[in-house]
Structure 1
Amino acid sequence: MTRPTIVYDDDCGFCTWSAEYADAHGNFHLLGFSKLTPEERARLPDDYEDCMHVFDGDDTYSCGEAAEFVAAQLNTAEGTAARVFQSLPEGARRHVRDPTYRFIADHRDWFGKVRSKRPPARD
């Protein structure tokens, strides 16, 4: 079985940190936009640079749906919360998920600064 692939903006520090965090707490392959092949790019929407994506087999998830997919795979408290969130009807999830994702994506510079002020994790 292949690992899902997180497709992300590797020119964005917050995006890179988020993808690496997911990989460290889940089981993903990471693929930055700068490394996309023409075949991989063809799987993405025209405005693919506006958000993250996930390739899972033949399926492609984008934006909030991709973030939900990734979060639900994490072996963390965030993963547990995402799996509980997935018990809600899709319409209710979309109503919360998509605007939340867009807000974070539109303010990733600020979220990157907040993330960088956190003390390092202890082993």
Structure 2
Amino acid sequence: MYEKEQLNNFKGGIAIGIGIGLLSGVASTLLIKNKQNLSADVILQRIKKAFLKEGPIEGSWISFEKQPVRKFAVRTEGYNGGITRLEDNRLVTYEFLADAKTGSVLDINRISV
């Protein structure tokens, strides 16, 4: 009887240990992913994909150096980049600023060439 009780306690301890290990693994993975920045290439591909929905692209670029960005009270890091395409038989360039963590476009300006 005593051995059976010890075996049940042992099984319960293992189950608790596995549960704690899984929870801490998931939590640490989420924390690490939340703090990681997207690469400049991934951000440029996402923005190009959005522009391609409206028409073909002639060229694109992105700076691989992150720069500090401040919009009102929010501080983050971002990448500068640009897209060039034909609109009404004229080259038009769009310059953008994208958030390094989320890839969201923070600012975009249309520049006629």
Query: Which gives a bigger RCO, structure 1 or 2 (Cα 8 Å, sep 6+)?
Result: 1
Name the structure with the higher strand share: 2
Larger radius of gyration: 2
Name the structure with the higher helix share: 1
TM-score, normalised on structure 1?
A: 0.27
TM-score, normalised on structure 2?
A: 0.29
